[in-house]
Structure 1
Amino acid sequence: MLLSRWRRWRRGRPFWGGLFAILAGAEICALPLAPLKVMLQQGIAGIPSVLMGIVMIVLGLTAWFSPAQRSLAGVLTTLIATAALVLSNLGGFLIGTLLGILGGGLMFAWQPHAAARHSPEERSPELQSPVPPQSPTPTGTTAHPDPQGAQP
């Protein structure tokens, strides 16, 4: 019961993209707080590192709890991870940048499952029409189904 609820929740959102973004944010945020022996150079990079890490963690959580905002969260995560390469100790020694780019890409590319479409044979006889409806298309254009509603 609990495992099936977890799977349904996880599959209904860009889980892996959000997880990679949270891990990237934690990596970028934690390095400036590490002991000086671990750090290459603290300098002024400490404040932007912590801020970028926190924002990436928030964007990962946004993808989990508001999947409708996944595109914006994915693009912002990728941009912040790329900026962290320059502003934050090589983006958490490249680990944070790579995880952030991967997470942002997964968030942006994730699509929700579409409802299953039934073939005309599977429909009930009441719903079947003898002639399929023709959609008017302007001359010179071709009709194509686009799930996101873009116009040709």
Structure 2
Amino acid sequence: MLLSLWRRWRQWRRGRPFWGGLFAVLAGAEICALPLAPLKVMLQQGIAGIPSVLMGIVMIVLGLTAWFSPAQRSLAGVLTTLIATAALVMSNLGGFLIGTLLGILGGGLMFAWQPNPPAPNPPAPNAAVPHPSPEPQDSVPPHSPTPTGTTAHPDPQGAQP
């Protein structure tokens, strides 16, 4: 039972930019927590704490977006990095630099994450192996690494050079 839960957790975690999202959530919590000081300190700070709280909440939402919608990871990563950089100026040095550094790291990890390509299906154990025919194959010339008219490219998203 416990092993099954651990496998499901690992599969879920590996299918999304988990660490980038975690660092973004931690950065947002750090940036949010500093202006939410005791009431006596908050009264002295005034309205200046509102941007800090809003930036922290947005960073937490972006980290959760990367977890639960991995297709939006690029946008979430770029926005997290931009907000973390803006928090450096607008929010107590970005959570005394800790929030900004965690946000930049998390945004970079979210942006850089790529999904694993699906594993190829193994051949059936009793499948007949085709025998090579004695006549030559003229579809691909021997000096060409790819068939004419196609381009081999390892990018899983299908970008062309």
TM-score category of the 2 structures, normalised to the smaller one: 0.7 to 0.9
Provide the C-alpha distance between the structure 1 equivalents of 2:39 and 2:101, rounded to a whole number of angstroms.
Answer: 23
Report the AA paired with residue 87 of structure 1: M
1:16 aligns with 2:7: no
**What is the Cα deviation at residue 116 of structure 1?**
2.8
Of 147, 150, 154, the match for 1:145: 154
2:32: which partner in 1? 29
Are the equivalent residues in 1 in contact too, given 2:25–2:64 (CA < 8 A)? yes
Q: Percent identity?
A: 83
2:95: which partner in 1? 92
Provide the C-alpha distance between the structure 2 equivalents of 1:99 and 1:87, rounded to a whole number of angstroms.
Answer: 16
Structure 1 residues 36, 91: CA separation in 2 closer, same or farther (over 3 Å shift)? farther
Provide the C-alpha distance between the structure 2 equivalents of 1:124 and 1:117, rounded to a whole number of angstroms.
Answer: 18
Provide the C-alpha distance between the structure 2 equivalents of 1:134 and 1:86, rounded to a whole number of angstroms.
Answer: 55
Q: CA RMSD in A?
A: 3.1
Report the AA paired with residue 154 of structure 2: P
Provide the C-alpha distance between the structure 2 equivalents of 1:38 and 1:106, rounded to a whole number of angstroms.
Answer: 35
Are the equivalent residues in 2 in contact too, given 1:71–1:108 (CA < 8 A)? yes
Structure 1 residues 136, 64: CA separation in 2 closer, same or farther (over 3 Å shift)? same
Report the AA paired with residue 147 of structure 2: Q
2:143: which partner in 1? none
Structure 1 residues 135, 37: CA separation in 2 closer, same or farther (over 3 Å shift)? farther
- Deviation digits for residues 44-69 of structure 1, max 9, x if unmatched? 43011000000000000000000000
**Matched residues, number:** 145
**What is the Cα deviation at residue 3 of structure 1?**
1.1
SS of 2:35 mapped into structure 1: helix
Structure 1 residues 8, 143: CA separation in 2 closer, same or farther (over 3 Å shift)? closer
1:78: which partner in 2? 81
- Deviation digits for residues 4-32 of structure 1, max 9, x if unmatched? 11111111111111000000001101110
Which runs of 5 or more residues in structure 2 are unaligned? Answer: 141-145
1:116: which partner in 2? 119
**What is the Cα deviation at residue 43 of structure 1?**
4.8
**What is the Cα deviation at residue 34 of structure 1?**
1.3
The structure that has the greater radius of gyration is: 2
Which runs of 5 or more residues in structure 1 are unaligned? Answer: none
- Deviation digits for residues 35-94 of structure 1, max 9, x if unmatched? 37888x835430110000000000000000000000110000000000000000100000
Provide the C-alpha distance between the structure 2 equivalents of 1:135 and 1:58, rounded to a whole number of angstroms.
Answer: 48
